[in-house]
Structure 1
Amino acid sequence: MYLYNIVVGIIFSSQIGVGVFGNSCFLCCFSFTLFSSHRSRPMEPILVQLMLTNIIVLFVQGCPLVLFHLQKGYFLGNAGCKMVFYLYRVGRGHSICTTCLLSAFQAITISPSHSSLAKFKVRLRKFIRPSCLLCWIFNMIIEVSVPIYITETNGINSSHGGGMDLLYCHNERALKELTILHSLRDILLVGCMVFTSGYMVFSLYRHHQRVQHIHSTCLTPRTFPEVKATQTILQLVSIFVIAYCISCGFTLYKVYVIPSGAWIVVVSTFISLCFPTISPFLLIHRDPKPSRSCCAC
């Protein structure tokens, strides 16, 4: 068991280190590009919000597991559990909202000029920053009741009392008793991601058909970045939805099948942290602008 704790601690330490490094690199590249060119693209404020949220989620969800397995004890205390889990829930909710905003705004950006979404293109930049702020406020409000049900574990067995063991903390209210508001938020936002992703795939297919029709292998400078950005966001949304669904599946399995399964918490956390770890490297790899900025730095 001691070897198991060391291995789990090393795995999560590596995941957190790689993820924080990637997100920090993206933020540094963005800052360098902003100060050097004094120009920013419409989606960059959302991407910055996403990177900041990734760092918060990596720290508040990964670090307690690392310390729990390496120190082999309950170290947070009652107040620490409430604060850490509240920050995790807010960060998780904001990550869903930000990814949904990114997908929705990109769908509006590439919409044809004759579509009903075209009228929002001109005012799109004005909506981005207020939308990010509203996402923070919204998630902080709906998660305000979370600390009430989180306590220090101290060896509590989650199979009794209907709670759920989180290894370093204990949730007195199992997932089956969560409020409708939390579930409704996740379902609506993930559904919005799937819908807008389908719309973007359809738009890219129509664009490809038009390019083939005119028998041209050269895209205009304005069209090519939009297509590439759309493909990048589609990859981001796909990774997020897959990781989210798998993590939720493990969580449901723990609540309804094996309440005391500690390994499920470890696997579910590892999968849920894959998105904040991978996403910055995908953005840097797919977008030549941050890549050039990193090389310049």
Structure 2
Amino acid sequence: MYLYNIVVGIIFSSQIGVGVFGNSLFLCCFGLTLFRSNRSRPMEPIVVQLMLTNTIVLLSQGCPLVLFHLQKGYFLGNAGCKMVFYLHRVGRGHSICTTCLLSVFQAATISPSHSRLGKLKVRILKFIRPLCLLCWTFNMIIEMNAPMYITESRSVNSSHQGGLDLLYCHRERAPKELTILHSLRDIFFVGCMVFASGYMVFSLYRHHQRVHHIHSSCLSPRTFPEVKATQTILLLVSIFFTAYCISCGLTLYKVYAISSGTCVVIVATFIALCFPTISPFLLIHRVTQTSKSCCTCW
């Protein structure tokens, strides 16, 4: 069992270290790019928000598990559990909102000028920063009641009935109204994300059909960067959606299963942290301007 705790601690330590390094590297590259060009693209604030949110999720969800397995005990207490879980919930909710905004605004960017979405393109892009701030405020308010249902681990206080054992803390069953509110938020933003992704796939297919009969020298130089950015965001959304569905499925299994070990929580947390770990490296690799800035810096 001692070896098991060490292995789990090393795995999550490595995942957190790689993820925090990737998000920090992307933010540094973004700062250098902004300093060199003295201007930012419309959707770059959303990407910066996503990198900051990834860091919060990695630290608030992964670090407690690392310390729990390496220290072999409960260390947070009631106050620590409430604070860490609140940061985790806000970061998780903001990650869903930010990824949704990224896919919706990219869908608006590549939409034809004569379409309804294309006509609203300029107006929509002006609301990026206010919407980012609104997402932070919305998630901070909607998760205000979350710390009320977090206590020390069930192993410490055996009076807890039901809920979800997070190993380092215990989450009691929240009222149905609060659960429904959180579920509606997730369903709405994930639904918008999927709809925008489907629209982008359809737009890329139509673009491929149009340019199939046109010589590449006749294409605008801006065509390929927009297509590449759209493909990158589609890949990001696919990774997020896959990790989200698997993590939610494992969490529901842990809640409603009659007997389930701690491995379910560990696997669900590892999968949930895959997106904030992978996404910065994907953006650094696929976004042309950021990659060139990093190469120039090195």
TM-score over 0.5 for the pair:
yes
Give the 3-state SS of the residue equivalent to 2:19 in structure 1: helix
2:171 alignment partner in structure 1? 171
2:129 alignment partner in structure 1? 129
Deviation at 1:283, TM superposition (A): 0.3
- What amino acid maps onto 1:280 in structure 2? P
1:62 alignment partner in structure 2? 62
The percentage of counterpart residues that share the same residue type is 81
Indicate if the aligned counterparts of 1:8 and 1:69 stay in contact, CA closer than 8 A: yes
Q: In terms of mean alpha carbon deviation, does 11-20 or 107-116 score higher? A: 107-116
TM-score, normalised relative to structure 1:
0.96
Q: In terms of mean alpha carbon deviation, does 260-269 or 30-39 score higher? A: 260-269
Distance 1:227 1:97 in 2: 23
Distance 1:175 1:209 in 2: 51
| Counterparts in 2 of 1:262 and 1:217: CA distance versus 1, 3 Å | farther
Deviation at 1:261, TM superposition (A): 2.2
Matched, 1:199 2:211: no
Distance 1:245 1:198 in 2: 17
Distance 2:53 2:240 in 1: 13
Deviation at 1:79, TM superposition (A): 0.2
Instruction: Please report the RMSD computed on the Cα atoms of aligned residues, expressed in angstroms.
Output: 1.8
Give the 3-state SS of the residue equivalent to 2:151 in structure 1: strand
Indicate if the aligned counterparts of 2:57 and 2:88 stay in contact, CA closer than 8 A: yes
| Aligned structure 1 segments of 4 or more residues deviating by more than 4 angstroms | 156-160, 174-178
Distance 1:218 1:241 in 2: 37
Unaligned runs of 5+ in 1: none
2:283 alignment partner in structure 1? 283
Report Cα offsets for 1:141-181 as digits up to 9, x if no partner: 00000000000115158896122111000111169785211
The size of the alignment, in residue pairs, is: 297
Distance 1:165 1:191 in 2: 29
Report Cα offsets for 1:231-282 as digits up to 9, x if no partner: 0000000000000000001001101114652111100000000000000000
TM-score, normalised relative to structure 2:
0.96
Q: Superposed, which structure 2 residues align to 1:164-243 within 5 Å?
A: 164-173=164-173, 178-216=178-216, 219-243=219-243
Distance 2:285 2:94 in 1: 24
Q: In terms of mean alpha carbon deviation, does 153-162 or 36-45 score higher? A: 153-162
| Counterparts in 2 of 1:254 and 1:225: CA distance versus 1, 3 Å | same
Unaligned runs of 5+ in 2: none
Indicate if the aligned counterparts of 2:106 and 2:230 stay in contact, CA closer than 8 A: yes
1:148 alignment partner in structure 2? 148
